[in-house]
Structures are given as structure tokens and as C-alpha cells.
Amino acid sequence: MWLWFHKLASPPHAYRVLGKLAPWFGWPALATILLATWWGLVKAPADYQQGDAFRILYVHAPSAWMSMFIYVVMAIAAAVGLIWRIKLAHAAAAAAAPIGASFTFLALATGSIWGKPMWGTWWVWDARLTSELILLFLYLGYMALRSSFDDPQRADRASAVLAIVGVINVPIIHYSVEWWTTLHQPASVTKIDKPSIAIEMLYPLFIMIIGFQLYFGWAISRRLRGEILRRERNASWLKEAR
Amino acid sequence: MRRAATTAAANLVFRRDLTLAWRRWDEVAQPLIFYVVVTTLFPLATTPDLSQLRVISGGVVWVAALLASLLALESLFRSDVEDGTMEQWVLSGQPLGWLLLAKVASHWVLTGLPLVIMSPVVGTALGLPFDAWGALVASLLLGTATLSILGGIGAALTVGVRRGSVLLSLLVLPLAMPLLIFGSRAVGMAMDGDSPAGPLQLLAAIFFLTLSLGPLAMSAAIRISVES
């Protein structure tokens, strides 16, 4: 019954499946992101305090969400690779890291752009911004550690340990606005209560998050295929692959 | 029977490292000298005015301690991995985490502890008031101990890598940032006359978390480094 699942650990099978899956992520991703962009920029009402400037939320919040989500995905993939010794899991973690780092950078950059008109400053060393910056450093450290070994097995397993050790930062980022008085506003949605944001503003936010998730699905399918190609470049199954 | 053997083994490792370091004490002194030199750089680079330096003195002492500790960490496991001792430890049947913890403990006694003892002197040179000495020493005691374990994880991951010390710093510094934040905050609060209990308790919590889970990560990392 679980054969379909176990077969995914095989590089040639995963290569085929990901190749077929990628467009099913990619096109819906494009459509959803476009829809959410239009909805957020045009249809959603302006904020009573911030006016139209708040609309950068529709890029900033989903990027920040993705940056944390991808780190957890990376850490889980690394753990799976370490525990069950599945090389494809390590490949998935390696493929996810640059995507996660890009989202983290995007979150920091859009947050900075939003902060200048709203708070009057490009940056402030409060708990959430600092811990998100630490997340970026963790991603970069992970990628640096990976590239510093010639032996691919050691690279996989050492960076897996690092990814798992660093996952403690993710709950710190999320709860930083609760545990400390920060300039960054507290959680409006991911909390046990009614959302403290108007529902008309929430719809495009959710749609954009779905769009970014689909984008991540597309990007990691493509990148993982590339990783498989790189790792299996001398294998005979590649000659018949499409 | 086995429990006694583990403590005996850990003790042996601890005393062996201290003995080895005693024979090469100039290597032990180097991080300490680096520490003093780095703190000297700040008044040279900013201002010699003690009243202005006082504001950043806690942070500067902490950053210098962080950097000096990182410098010393690269050689933590290197010689043991190179001559095969580490492989024997992995195969020995003793809990690897305990042996590594003993090694990290001796490393802390040789590098972290001197930094902590030196810190009031160095802090006073930057205008740190006497009232803040207690918070400075307490925060650095907890901080350097935690850093030794975190650095042990990083050192275990990067053993044998060329230019490993830069990579090690890149890996350990993001994890050490909370220590820096709470440590310098404790000193800052003591300087302002508030009780530094809050940050010190958080530092202690981080220390115990690292103490309990760190050896696990270290032994996993050492096994990866040695078996590859």
C-alpha cells in the first residue's frame, strides 16, 4: 500500500515523478500569485492607518512564512536522511536551502522597505528582525558547510546535523513578538484567537501564501531534479531519462 | 561497573588534556592575549573617553570573549582526529558524548575560565563600573561555558576542513548571538542599577539546554567526521 511512497526514495523514479509534477505546481503558482497580487494591490481596502503602503504585507508576510517553513522542511529532510540514510532526503535539503535563503532575504528586504515609511527606519535591532537575520546566517552557514567538503556523504551528514541544531531558531522567530516588546507588530493570524486583521485583507494574504507554497513546490521539484542529475551523473539510468 | 568506567574514562580525558596543555601553555595563553588586544582596539578606534566607552564596555568585553573563544575552538578536536585517538573513542563502547564533554570541559578550563577571570580587568579598562563586575563575571561564566559546547559542535562538524576556523566561526556565531544579547544585556542592566537576574536566568537556561543536548549533537558530528 505504501509502495508509491517507498519508491520515491529511488532517484530515477523520483526524477520522473518530479518532472511530471513540476508543471502542476508551476502554472497554478503563477496563476495564484497573479490573482493574489491583483487582489492585494487593487481590490483589498486601504488600511485606515497606513493607507496603501500596507500592501507590501502581501509579499512580506508570505516570504517570512516561507522562510521559516522551508527551514523546517529542510531540517526534517535532513533528519530523515540521517536516520534512515536516504540520500534523496539529503538532496532535497540541499535543494531547498537556496530557496529558503532567498525567501529570508526577501522577507528582510521587503520588511526594511516597509519599515522606512512606517517606522522611520530601515532597520531596528528588535527580537524578530534579529532572529530572522540569524535564520539567514543559518541558511548561509548550511550552504557554506555543504560546499566545504569534497566527500559528498560527509557533506550531506555534517550539514544535516547543522540544520537540525539550527531549527531551534524557528520557534524563537515566531514567538519573539510575544516574548519581547518589539517594534514589529505581534501575530495577527497564527494565534489562538480571532484574527486581528480585517477579513477582506486576509483573503489575498492566504491566496498569496498558497501561491508561494505552490511556487516552492515547483522550485524544489526543478532543483531536486538538478541535484539528482548532479549526484547520479555517472549512473546508467540517466542515458534513458527524459 | 560500566557506569564507574565511564566516569573514570571521562576523568582520564579531562586530566590528559590539562596535562597536555600544561606542557604547551603558550598555546593556552594565546587566546587570552588576543582577548586583551581586541579590547584595546576599541578605545583606539572610537574614543579614549571613558564615560563614552562605558556605554559599550559590556558589549565590547562580550564580543572580544566570543571571538577569542572561537579562535581557540578550531584546534579542539583536530589533533585527536588526526592521530586516530578519536576513532578509538568512537569504537571504545563508552558513551561518546561523555568523553567529548570531558574534552570540552578541559578546553573551557583552559580558555574560557581565564577569559572570565580577566574580564573585570579588561572591563575596567573600558570604564566598566565596579557594580557591574558581578553581572559581567556571572554572564561570562555561563556564556563561555555554553559557547564551549556550541563551539564543540561546530568544531566536530568542521574537523579537517581547510580554512576551517572561518567556517567554524560562521557556523557558531549565529547560534551564539542569543548568548551575546542576553550577556551584554545583563551587564547593561547592572550598570543602570537594575537587577540583572532576568538575562542571567535566561543565560542559565540556555546553558542547561546546551549542556543536555550538545553532547548528543557533538557525538553525531564526530561520528560523521571520523567515519567519512
Beta-carbon separation of A144 and B170 below 8 A: yes
Residue A241 falls inside a structural domain? no
For chains A and B, what is the number of CB pairs under 8 angstroms? 55
Residue A134 falls inside a structural domain? yes
DSSP structure class, residue A47: B
Residue B13, CB-side half-sphere exposure with 13 Å CA sphere: 27
Rounded to the nearest angstrom, the minimum Cα separation between A226 and chain B is 25
**Residue A90 to residue A96: CA distance in whole angstroms:** 10
The pLDDT score that the predictor gives to residue B4 is 62
The pLDDT score that the predictor gives to residue B2 is 55
**Residue B158 to residue A149: CA distance in whole angstroms:** 9
Which one of A137, A144, A165 has the shortest CB-CB distance to B153?
Answer: A165
Beta-carbon separation of B178 and A145 below 8 A: no
**Residue A11 to residue B113: CA distance in whole angstroms:** 51
Residue A75 falls inside a structural domain? yes
Query: Residue-wise over A40-55: b if at least 16 C-beta within 10 A, else e?
Result: beeebeeeeeeeeebb
For chain A (242 residues), the mean pLDDT of every run of 10, in chain order, is: 88 94 96 93 81 86 95 96 94 97 96 87 84 93 93 94 92 82 72 73 91 97 95 88 70
| Domain total of chain B | 1
> Of A98, A45, A50, A105, which Cα lies nearest the Cα of A74?
A98
Best of A162, A165, A168, A169 to mutate (most B CBs within 10 Å, chain B): A165
The pLDDT score that the predictor gives to residue B187 is 94
**Residues of chain B below pLDDT 70:** 1-4
The pLDDT score that the predictor gives to residue B93 is 85
Print the domain residue range for B194.
2-227
Rounded to the nearest angstrom, the minimum Cα separation between B217 and chain A is 7
The C-alpha cell of B199 is what?
538575562
The pLDDT score that the predictor gives to residue B38 is 93
Nearest CA in chain B to A176: B178
Beta-carbon separation of B224 and A158 below 8 A: yes
User: Which residues of chain A does B228 touch, with a Cβ-Cβ cutoff of 8 Å?
Assistant: 149, 151, 153-154, 157
> Of A193, A192, A176, which Cα lies nearest the Cα of A184?
A176
Catalogue the long-range contacts made by A17-24 (C-beta closer than 8 Å, 24 or more residues apart): A18/A221, A18/A222, A18/A224, A18/A225, A19/A221, A19/A225, A19/A242, A21/A217, A21/A221, A22/A218, A22/A221, A22/A222, A22/A225
Task: Tell me if chain A has a CB within 8 Å of the CB of B56.
Answer: no
The reply to whether ipTM tops 0.90 is no
φ, ψ dihedrals at A71, nearest 5°: -65, -40
**Residue B212 to residue B14: CA distance in whole angstroms:** 18
Residue A14 falls inside a structural domain? no
**Residue B12 to residue B18: CA distance in whole angstroms:** 10
| Burial (0-12, 13-18, 19+ Cβ within 10 Å), A151 | exposed
The pLDDT score that the predictor gives to residue A50 is 77
Taken in order A131, A133, A139, A143, the sign of the CA dihedral is negative
Taken in order B194, B195, B198, B199, the sign of the CA dihedral is positive
Print the domain residue range for A81.
21-184+196-231
Beta-carbon separation of B220 and A144 below 8 A: no
> Of B210, B187, B208, which Cα lies nearest the Cα of B198?
B187
The radius of gyration of chain B from alpha carbons, rounded to an integer in Å, stands at: 18
Taken in order A224, A227, A229, A231, the sign of the CA dihedral is negative
**Residue B179 to residue B200: CA distance in whole angstroms:** 10
Residue A204 falls inside a structural domain? yes
What separation in angstroms does the CA of B2 have from each of B6, B95, B215, B218, B223? Answer: 6, 10, 19, 22, 22
Three-state secondary-structure class, residue A168: coil
**Residue B191 to residue B130: CA distance in whole angstroms:** 9
The pLDDT score that the predictor gives to residue A30 is 97
Which one of A137, A151, A154 has the shortest CB-CB distance to B174?
Answer: A137
Beta-carbon separation of B167 and A148 below 8 A: yes
Residue A2, CB-side half-sphere exposure with 13 Å CA sphere: 2
Taken in order A222, A228, A229, A235, the sign of the CA dihedral is negative
**Residue B64 to residue B39: CA distance in whole angstroms:** 6
Query: Residue-wise over B207-227: b if at least 16 C-beta within 10 A, else e?
Result: beebeeebbebbbbbbbbbbe
Any residues with CB less than 8 A from the CB of A13 and at least 6 apart, and which? Answer: A7
Rounded to the nearest angstrom, the minimum Cα separation between B148 and chain A is 15
User: Which residues of chain A does B157 touch, with a Cβ-Cβ cutoff of 8 Å?
Assistant: 145, 158, 161-162
Which one of A134, A145, A151 has the shortest CB-CB distance to B171?
Answer: A145
The pLDDT score that the predictor gives to residue B33 is 94
User: Which residues of chain B does A154 touch, with a Cβ-Cβ cutoff of 8 Å?
Assistant: 224-225, 228
Residue A7 falls inside a structural domain? no
Beta-carbon separation of B153 and A164 below 8 A: no
pLDDT per position as a tens digit, A185-229: 777 776 666 777 778 888 899 999 999 999 999 999 999 999 999
The DSSP secondary structure of B109-120, one letter per residue, reads IIIIHHHHHHHH
